Amino acid sequence: MGADAYSVIELKMIEQILSETDDDRKRMFEEAAGINKYKQQRRSTLRKFDAVRQDLDRVDDIAQEVKQKVNGLNLQLKRFKRHEKLSDELKEKEVALAFIRVHDYESDISPLRKRVLEFTHLKNEKATDTSQHEKELIHLKNIYSEQQTELNSLQSALRKMEKERGSFRHNILVWSEQEKATEATIQRLQREGESNVQKKVHLKGQIKHFNRELSVLDPQVDQQLKKYKS
């Protein structure tokens, strides 16, 4: 042990050296030689290194989770847009078909209505020759009644479909807002992903810094140990 080491050993420390075990004496010699300071710095740097490594692992996990969420939301958004388009097209076609059927029935009923009026007029004029006219009139009235009933049913269905279309348009507005919210969430998650990339770069820089610190501290500890042993 060099002359500098003796200068820091007090009488009390000498007594402890004589009374303690080999490990205790080694620890006291290292403390006297200043090695403990480097060891503490090294332990502190290693703790920081481990903490940064854990932060880096967490950033990787968060980045992977964000990526999965973005992929899931993008898939959900595509399905929603496809469903919205198909539903809108189906509803429009149903309403258009109902309008066509109502128009066709009204076209069929119009001449029947005219013939009913004509036969009613003939009946009033020719009371003596009513048998054949009565039969045809009853037949026409039955046809007219059936078609009028079906027309009423179609008109009722059309009103219901118009109401459903209004409700559907409201749903489209709601879905559009949900779509905007989903896109906003995707953008937010993408920004978080970019931020995590920056954090990862920063943490890797810290790891390099701590590695440099360790590369400096290790030779210093070795140097002090050599000095202590000499």
Task: Quick: pLDDT tens for 22-80.
Answer: 565 556 555 555 556 666 776 777 777 777 777 767 767 777 777 787 777 778 777 77
Single-letter code of the amino acid located at 131? S
Residues 6+ apart with CB under 8 A from 121: none
CA atoms within 13 A on the CB side of 164: 13
| Dihedral over Cα of 47, 49, 51, 53: its sign | negative
Confirm whether 136 is domain-assigned.
yes
For residue 186, give Cα distances in angstroms to 65, 85, 176, 194, 226: 13, 21, 15, 12, 59
Q: How many CA atoms lie within 13 A of 3 on its CB side?
A: 0
- 3-state SS assignment for residue 90: helix
Q: Is residue 164 part of a domain?
A: yes
- Banded pLDDT at 3 (limits 50, 70, 90): very low
pLDDT at residue 9 is higher than 50: no
Segments forming the whole domain that contains residue 140? 34-229
Opening angle at CA 202, ends 196 and 206, nearest 5: 140
Could you tell me if residue 12 is inside a domain? no
Distances (CA, A) of 192 to 51, 123, 128, 200: 21, 86, 95, 12
pLDDT average, residue stretch 193-204 = 78
Output the pLDDT for position 81. Answer: 73
The letter for the amino acid at 29 is: F
Residue 149, pLDDT > 80, answer yes
Instruction: Identify the pLDDT of residue 22.
Output: 59
> Is 29 within a domain?
no
Lowest mean pLDDT among 43-57, 120-134, 171-185: 120-134
Measured between alpha carbons, how far is 175 from 179 in angstroms, rounded to an integer? Answer: 6
CB atoms within 10 A of CB 219: 10
Domain annotation covers residue 168: yes
Quote the mean pLDDT of the chain.
71
Name the domain count of the chain: 1
Query: Residue 13: inside a domain, yes or no?
Result: no
What CATH code is carried by the domain that includes residue 108? 1.10.287.2610
CA dist 134 and 124 (Å) reads 11
| 166 found inside a domain | yes
- Highest mean pLDDT range out of 9-13, 14-18, 113-117? 113-117
Share of the chain above pLDDT 90, in %: 0
Domain assignment of residue 28, yes or no: no
18 — pLDDT class (breaks 50, 70, 90): low
17: how many CB neighbours lie within 10 A of its CB? Answer: 14
Q: Which two tokens stand for residue 70?
A: 């973005």
